[in-house]
Structure 1
């Protein structure tokens, strides 16, 4: 795992509102950024700011392969308005070697639904397939000012 303060390489595929905001946040964090979009005007608007800017079709496997997408530390597919293109691009990026592709629109949708269905969850981090770290808001006074050992959750069945 890379050091949080170390410069890493990011590929942002799609420069809509979210892709552009993500790119600007990465630049403020002084990261190495490749942006890809099929809209020449949008790419030209940020070309002078990023490490690499490419006018390309992110749904074209040969173009992604030529750009060596699999070599980037992080690949963000930010083509939210083009669902079919987003799915194709994600599959291609994984095929080419990007083993962790982030789809912010889908991730945010899942987070939003999770928060609506679990209103007591303040924060949630999935650490691995089987382990999560969850911060919850406690409203039951039976839990106030007690350690996890004191609560002995194995004995508590009906709350």
Structure 2
């Protein structure tokens, strides 16, 4: 028998999960308390519900108790995420995959019986950063509409300064809200994320900075 799925929460992550499952021809029950979010996906499925996902009766009536897997993809509302997990456990759902916002949130979800806890934003950011670091042709990259990371080659003005010196200098500079997040020696392959190191940097070493896009673009060093 084909596996059946539920998706609760239609933010970006939940919407993409739901639409991908539907494309694969899976049986999917979808729910969100936001009518506008439900309307966006209603044309793709007949099993879309506007409901309070902490309401046990509403979940049962929608059919969530009969599903093999349920994915909780509730955004910033940690309380709602936790109450939803508890309600799903109460109606007998065995396999619950829950999205967490913070490590503490994730630990609570695990303690309450989530089968798997995922951190999609963190994992996406790690993947993006890994691609940025390993691709020598990319010098700057937007990671959101307002944030950018940039690889910068150490020039004479920074020679002799350590990653820690640069971090402190940036912290003390009220003109910029920029952080150093990694550095690499010119003769080494690996990047180091230990920006508290006091070892001096040399010309042609590189650092990675994170900050507001306009500040990165106008950064002078």
Sort the TM-score into its range (normalised by shorter chain): 0.5 to 0.7
Instruction: Give RMSD over aligned pairs.
Output: 2.2
Regions of 4+ moved over 4 Å: none
Alignment of 1:7-156 (within 5 A): 7-105=2-100, 106=106, 107-109=117-119
TM-score (structure 1 length as normaliser): 0.61
Alpha-carbon distance in 2 for matches of 1:91, 1:53: 21
Report the alpha carbon displacement of residue 59 of structure 1 after superposing the two structures with TM: 1.4
Unaligned runs of 5+ in 2: 101-105, 107-116, 127-221
Report the alpha carbon displacement of residue 27 of structure 1 after superposing the two structures with TM: 1.6
Unaligned runs of 5+ in 1: 116-159
Report the alpha carbon displacement of residue 51 of structure 1 after superposing the two structures with TM: 4.0
Residue of structure 2 equivalent to 1:119: none
Report the alpha carbon displacement of residue 108 of structure 1 after superposing the two structures with TM: 2.8
Task: Find the structure with the greater CA-based Rg.
Answer: 2
Contact 2:32 2:49 in 1 (8 A): yes
Alpha-carbon distance in 1 for matches of 2:69, 2:46: 14
- 2:70 alignment partner, SS class: strand
- 2:43 alignment partner, SS class: coil
Report the alpha carbon displacement of residue 12 of structure 1 after superposing the two structures with TM: 0.5
Alpha-carbon distance in 1 for matches of 2:83, 2:59: 12
Contact 2:29 2:64 in 1 (8 A): no
Contact 2:29 2:63 in 1 (8 A): no
TM-score (structure 2 length as normaliser): 0.45
Alpha-carbon distance in 1 for matches of 2:17, 2:49: 16
Equivalenced residues, count: 108
Contact 1:33 1:51 in 2 (8 A): no
Q: 1:100 to 1:51 in 2, by over 3 A?
A: same
Alpha-carbon distance in 1 for matches of 2:27, 2:60: 19
1:72-117 C-alpha deviation (Å, 9 max, x unpaired) = 11111111311100000001101101011110334234996xx9xx
